[in-house]
Amino acid sequence: MTDMLIAPVASPSWTPSCPAGLLDELDDALTCTGVTVVTDDVRSFTFGVPAPLHFLPGQYLTVGLVVDGKSVERCYTISSPPSRSAELTITVKRAPGGPVSNWLHDNLRVGDAIRASGPLGRFSYAHHPAEKYLFLTAGSGITPAMSMVRTLCVDGHGADVVLVHCARTPDDIIFRDELEALDSRLDVSVAVLCEADSPTEPWHGRRGRLDAEALFDAAPDLPEREIFTCGPPPFMETVRSLLERAGADAGRCHEESFTIGAGSAPAVEGAVAPAAGDAAGDAAATSSGTTYSLGFRRSGRSVECDAGTTVLEAAARAGLSLPSSCGEGVCGTCKLTMLSGQVDMQHAGGIRPREIAQHKILACCSIPLEDLDIDA
């Protein structure tokens, strides 16, 4: 998502309003109230919240931990529906070498507390109302889709829903029992593909990876549907190609991915980070020999920034350390207040409209368009 920011800036209006009596922003320690084993490498963690929380189905939380003496933050989808506003659940896949996902699996127990902030993200049908939806997921990419499907079912939305999920084996099907139950509903159709049998169970459903035949078998009216896709990069690339060949309207195709850009610290482990599919465009500033001055008020430092370079990159090159994690506008760790100036901020949901109205920016994805004065 792209925001052209000039301080001060008017508040954007795209976020649905928060109902009276509900909390619309969380930045607190949450106590774990339940741990559910979903598959061998996936667990759901449920937390109580200090007050009923307003969030959109498909949004995520930023979870902060101290692991081996280092502060780390990762983003995890809220897999529970907003109707359960007194609690929320994240569903986490253990990632090889992932410090946060492994810590959660190995250490988090009922009664323990972790810090979380949010909700964040725009990957939600709430921004794209339609009569027909198609959800295409693979692996733990099913978590935001399940939040949306659960909500559509609970709210009596009346929408026609098709969910296609891809897994390696039957043992790896996340929310398997619930998917089977959903498929019995008149308004929901579920198709599951497995690439291979598991050691204990042969797979009798459709085998292999998602292809045009499987896609059209599940949703022959695909061009009429609002489409949400989430999964690992190879799956996302396949889906983009399939949808393009199928004549899907690009404006009705919405993505969420699992990777962070090259050279940045990974911010997701079996979780979700918004991809460029819903971004509004490329940065306005490109490398042209122009430089801007970035003044950091509290540190008393002034840093030169080339056109097309982010605030975070310019600060790092000058030896100024700013808090950061994902490097892609997802987690919100690098949030700063802009006292004056103008930036092109291409974030991926890691900042709220209310914060933008308070002149905050994400340093990792904000490119100066003039000299800046920053409270840091």
What is each CA distance from 157 to 83, 111, 125, 150, 360, in whole angstroms? Answer: 13, 35, 11, 11, 35
**pLDDT tops 70 at residue 343:** yes
Size of the chain, expressed as the number of residues it contains: 376
Give me the phi and psi of 104, to 5 degrees please. -60, -45
**pLDDT tops 80 at residue 287:** no
Angle at 230 between CA 45 and CA 35, to 5 degrees: 10
**CATH top-level class of 282-375:** alpha beta
Position 282 scores a pLDDT of 38
100-109 per-position pLDDT tens digit? 999 999 999 9
The mean per-residue pLDDT over the stretch 109-123 comes to 91
Q: pLDDT category, 16, cuts 50, 70, 90?
A: low
Q: pLDDT category, 22, cuts 50, 70, 90?
A: low
**pLDDT tops 60 at residue 257:** yes
The mean per-residue pLDDT over the stretch 171-185 comes to 94
**pLDDT tops 50 at residue 280:** no
346-359 per-position pLDDT tens digit? 887 788 787 888 88
The secondary structure of 180-191, three-state, reads HHHCCCCCEEEE
Q: Domain coordinates of the chain in residue numbers?
A: 26-120, 125-278, 282-375
**CATH top-level class of 26-120:** mainly beta
193-235 per-position pLDDT tens digit? 999 999 989 999 999 999 999 999 999 999 999 999 999 889 9
**pLDDT tops 90 at residue 263:** no
**pLDDT tops 90 at residue 176:** yes
Position 132 scores a pLDDT of 95
- One-letter amino acid of 224: E
- One-letter amino acid of 325: S
> What is the residue-averaged pLDDT of the chain?
83
- Indicate the pTM of the whole model: 0.76
Say if domain 125-278 classifies as CATH 3.40.50.80: yes
How far, in Å, CA of 58 to CA of 148, rounded? 6
